[in-house]
Chain A
Amino acid sequence: MITTEESYHLSNLKTLEAESIGIIREVAAEFDNPVMLYSVGKDSSVMTHLAIKAFYPKKVPFPLLHIDTGYKFPEMYEFRDEYTRKNGLELRVHRNEGALERGVNPLSVGTVKCCAELKTKALLDALKEGGYDAAFGGARRDEEKSRAKERIYSFRDKHGQWNPKNQKPELWNLFNSKIDQGESIRVFPLSNWTELDIWTYIYHEKIDIVPLYFAKERPVIEKNGQLIPVYTDEYEDEVRDVMCRFRTLGCHYCTGAVRSEADTLERIIEEMMVARHSERITRVIDHDQDSSMEQKKREGYF
């Protein structure tokens, strides 16, 4: 029987889905102790959804790990606990308690140091303590210029560092999983997805996301052109209510909202289709210095 291409067509989203599921299963099969980093954002929602699909009808065979800076939005903690419970996912949380006790926050030590302590160090410590040999992350190549250079299997040395000049060639879908004791691989199953793909997939699959992504009136202050939400009384600036939403979620100190009326998935997607700014423009930490993301990644950050 001669088969035609048309009768076996897979849509763009279904192709991306199949590719990601293939990657997730490959890691589960080849590594002894994998973990999936869960940051509670929209990409995390999609990545965990794909993991659930990959092993259906059984449970996801690895835990989720949330690197908690302690300064995430309250809505994120609430969502995290409900989402993982509902989907039968095992959640582990790690915080750099020492730094938090010392009162480290972006206002006290600046964003660069704060990230280094609460994110990078916390992550590296958690990976080491857990003895994880592979860690999934939801990063996409369209997010940022140094991420466009990432392999799907990204090798990290004993210190969790990335060396962009010495990445292993990655051919077809044959991934090299060989590492020595103490080394690890960061795995990015969403590498080939775009922000629009993520939203369209969330819409089609009816995936739960944190309500902060939907527009509503929120108290904010305006700082360096960013709309920073108000969750503490540490700010002295003028607070006002603005109709806004978040395109990306991080710590509430460092994540700006965008003015928007998009209060449904359809309206968010419409907004995405005409967006003229990148999603990471609202991430204060990306603009610390030129190559700031690359520098963080070299040191062990995602």
Chain B
Amino acid sequence: MSSESLIEQSQNIDLLRFATAGSVDDGKSTLIGRLLHDSKSIFEDQLHTIKTFSRTHRNQEIDYSLVTDGLKSEREQGITIDVAYRFFSTPKRRFIIADTPGHEQYTRNMATGASNASLALILIDARNGVVTQTKRHSFISSLLGIRNFVIAVNKMDLVDYSEEVFENIVNEFNAFADKLSDESVYYIPISALEGDNVIERSENMPWYKGSTLLDYLENVNVSCGRNLNDFRFPVQYVNWGGGDDFRGYCGTIASGVVHKGDKIRVLPSGKTSTVSRIVTYDGDLDYAFSPMAVTLCLEDDIDISRSDMIAKVDDLPAIAGSFEANIVWMDNTPMEIGKDYLIKHTTSMVKGNFEEVIHEFDPDDISMKSSQSLGLNSIGKVKVELKSPVFADIYSENRATGSFIVIDPHTNQTAAAGMVTKYKQVSPDKGCKSVKARVISYPADKKEEAKAKYDRLSMHGTHCIYVDDDLLKETLCKGKPVDVGQYSEMIENLCKIVTKSGVSVVICSDHFKS
């Protein structure tokens, strides 16, 4: 193969980002070290250093955990404190591992690693079974939107490779996983220390018929949770000045697709325009999609600044003045109800405060309990009041516009990670005057799409009604036959009346062509 096609090929294999999780001492670092070592991803000089340290400090030939525990204090204490990002690749896939700490004290670092991952590798010590920290990490991973879980039951060598022990843990975790939302869970019995079922199939566990860990990681089909339907462009940087006429809006497409010529609306002003150019250094594009970083030029000269949001005219995020959100609290100082915090959401930073804790979750069984405040590493659902609106979607529909961080303005610490579950639109007089109610029409054969659109709009807090021919005939015409022309006119007039009162209409009728 020519070097050119080799280079090409190396770039076309896909990338899987995964995070490790689980309790302390269950062998995460050892497992990662083993994966890297056995897949020949450790350079010889690094291996030499690790072996020397292992012999002199650990009295063993090689301590695999030294591969990832990169900080001096970690090696001294033999624990992982912070996330280490590790890279390795096989001919089938490239991997970025966020190796995260198990200590409860460092749960926030675990969430850091999980926020950009699409799979969670959770280790369970076969001797201890499912413990609180296993559940806490699984729950946080699930809240952050990870839908693929691999449960590696480790240290099988210390329980005589017992199938029964493994099965009990599978049953125990399954009972817990039922409470999470829609996860796919795969179980593998391993010994990271001995290398059983990590890369090589274990001869010690002939009863296990599934994949080895590497085999699974190489082949698992992981959707990246990317939303390609709703175009969202948080304006990051306005690029202008310097003596020429160029004025462009730089940003990363948070979700969806944009084409040259698309009609767009800018929030919060509500002004509309058309995309005249999609500029990149490599030339103008006809279209661009998430997660590309581009520069948009518009046909009209309108006032746009950082933290404004550009979206399609008929598909807007909510202008949220307050919302409900799941929160992972990460600061040593507990949440204070009513205190002003900074909320960073897409490219905007606004002031906001917590009105109440709706409930706190018990990570052991995901039950809800009442709570006045959230402390370090606790998880809860809260009500957030914003001093200026943000342009948001619900996290499960759109990670980029549904996530936010909370910053304590006194200490500048990142105090929490939040995921929007519900919001309240600000009333029109609070800054979204120009977001007009509209008519969205679908032909009758696209009934399902129309209904999905209606559901989405309503969930986003848009005042909206759904109308189809059956309903119209039943109400307007009272079941009597009418001529086609008259009927179309009636629909049109009806839509006019309804939208004037600020309600959007999703209409699905024989009179619209696709």
- A residues in contact (CB < 8 Å) with B: 3, 5, 8, 10-15, 17-19, 21-22, 25-26, 28-29, 52-59, 141-142, 144-149, 164-165, 167-176, 178-180, 191-192, 194, 196, 200, 203, 266-267, 269-270, 273, 275-278, 281, 290-291, 294-295
A172 and B45 within 8 A (CB): no
A25 and B250 within 8 A (CB): yes
Complex interface: chain B residues within 8 A of A170 (CB): 112, 115, 414
B246 and A57 within 8 A (CB): yes
Complex interface: chain A residues within 8 A of B45 (CB): 277-278, 281
B contacts with A, residue count (CB < 8 A): 79
B236 within 8 A of A: yes
A165 and B53 within 8 A (CB): no
A174 and B404 within 8 A (CB): yes
Closest 10 CB pairs of A and B: A145-B70, A278-B43, A21-B293, A56-B281, A53-B281, A178-B412, A171-B115, A266-B3, A291-B72, A169-B108
Q: Mark B350-380, 1 if CB is under 8 A from A, else 0.
A: 0000000000000000000000000000000
Enumerate 5 A-B pairs (CB-CB under 8 Å) in ascending A order.
A5-B226, A19-B291, A145-B46, A171-B403, A171-B405
B73 within 8 A of A: yes
Complex interface: chain B residues within 8 A of A273 (CB): 6, 10
B84 and A148 within 8 A (CB): yes
Q: Mark B283-305, 1 if CB is under 8 A from A, else 0.
A: 00000011111010000000000
Q: Mark B394-420, 1 if CB is under 8 A from A, else 0.
A: 000001100111010100111001000
B228 and A8 within 8 A (CB): yes
Known: A29-B237, A55-B239, A149-B71. A269 touches B82 (CB 8 A): no
Distance of A270 Cα from B83 Cα, bound (Å): 31
Known: A21-B293, A148-B68, A267-B3. A58 touches B246 (CB 8 A): yes
B72 and A18 within 8 A (CB): no
Closest CB-CB distance, B20 to chain A, in whole Å? 14
Distance of A60 Cα from B399 Cα, bound (Å): 30
B220 within 8 A of A: no
Complex interface: chain B residues within 8 A of A19 (CB): 291, 293
Distance of A52 Cα from B280 Cα, bound (Å): 11
A146 and B70 within 8 A (CB): yes
Closest to A195 in B: B87
A196 and B10 within 8 A (CB): yes
Complex interface: chain A residues within 8 A of B73 (CB): 164-165
B347 within 8 A of A: yes
Closest CB-CB distance, A186 to chain B, in whole Å? 16
Complex interface: chain B residues within 8 A of A269 (CB): 3, 6-7
B12 within 8 A of A: yes
Known: A29-B306, A58-B239, A267-B3. A194 touches B414 (CB 8 A): no
B250 and A169 within 8 A (CB): no
Complex interface: chain A residues within 8 A of B96 (CB): 192
B94 within 8 A of A: yes
Closest to B73 in A: A165
Distance of A256 Cα from B224 Cα, bound (Å): 42
Distance of A244 Cα from B237 Cα, bound (Å): 44
Distance of A8 Cα from B284 Cα, bound (Å): 17
B320 within 8 A of A: no
Known contacts A270-B3, A295-B72; 4 further A-B pairs (Cβ under 8 A): A5-B223, A145-B84, A266-B7, A294-B71
A180 and B280 within 8 A (CB): no
Closest CB-CB distance, A21 to chain B, in whole Å? 4
Closest to B94 in A: A12
Complex interface: chain B residues within 8 A of A13 (CB): 11
Complex interface: chain B residues within 8 A of A52 (CB): 281
Q: Which of A142, A165, A176, A178 is within 8 Å of B82, CB to CB?
A: A165
Known: A19-B291, A176-B407, A277-B43. A58 touches B242 (CB 8 A): yes
B147 within 8 A of A: no
B333 within 8 A of A: no
